[in-house]
């Protein structure tokens, strides 16, 4: 059934569907120590401010700017090395330098026909959620001080 479904979607339709997705979708492959982008959808371009031409054949690390002191990065590297799926929230930066919080899920997929491991990334800007969590934490702290 899965093979029948996969062959029934035209490549141009599949491309249109992925470009129409609300969340960012990326496809990457390993090249040496890098995981280079082969595809980014329209939502990725809109969220990051980078065009596909500016990101293709680069490692996604460019979104971190110089903000490499994030424990989640080691977890992501370990998951990629062991071909395991992972979900992490990272500080990333748009082309204009503004910070956003990226809820990233990476799923590995091995293509037996080509003998290549691909990585499907789904990203969502969760900056509002993080800001609300931080505000709630500050309010709880102030309330505790007032009660104490």
- Which CATH number is 141's domain given? 3.30.450.20
Q: Which of 134, 125, 119, 120 has its CA nearest to residue 25?
A: 120
Amino acid 3: pLDDT: 53
**How many angstroms separate the CA atoms of 59 and 100, rounded?**
18
* Confidence at residue 29, expressed as pLDDT on a 0 to 100 scale: 95
Query: What's the confidence (pLDDT) of residue 54?
Result: 97
Query: For every one of its 148 residues, what pLDDT tens digit does the chain have, with 9 covering 90 and above?
Result: 455 555 688 989 988 999 999 999 999 999 888 899 999 999 999 999 999 999 999 999 999 999 999 999 999 999 999 999 999 999 999 999 999 999 999 999 999 999 899 999 999 999 999 999 999 999 999 988 888 7
Total domains in the chain come to 1
Please give the pLDDT value at position 6.
Answer: 55
Q: Cα–Cα distance between 101 and 25 in angstroms, integer?
A: 16
Q: What is the pLDDT at residue 145?
A: 87
* Predicted pLDDT at 33: 84
Q: Residue 44 is part of which domain span? A: 2-147
**pLDDT of 9:** 85
H helical segments located in the chain: 2-8, 11-20, 42-48, 52-55, 71-81, 127-147
Q: For residue 7, what pLDDT is reported?
A: 64
């Amino acid at each position: 059934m899965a093979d029948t479904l996969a062959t029934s979607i035209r490549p141009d339709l599949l491309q249109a569907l992925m470009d129409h997705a609300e969340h960012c979708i990326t496809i990457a492959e390993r090249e040496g120590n890098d995981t280079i982008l082969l595809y980014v959808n329209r939502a990725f371009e809109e969220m990051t401010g980078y065009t596909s031409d500016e990101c293709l054949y680069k490692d996604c690390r460019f979104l971190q700017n110089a903000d490499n002191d994030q424990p989640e990065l080691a977890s992501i590297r370990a998951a990629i090395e062991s071909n395991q799926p992972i979900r992490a929230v990272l500080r990333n930066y748009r082309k204009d330098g503004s910070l956003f919080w990226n809820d990233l899920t990476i799923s590995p997929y091995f293509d037996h026909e080509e003998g290549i491991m691909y990585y499907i990334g789904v990203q969502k800007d969760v900056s509002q959620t993080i800001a609300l969590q931080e505000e709630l934490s500050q309010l709880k702290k102030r309330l505790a001080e007032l009660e104490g």
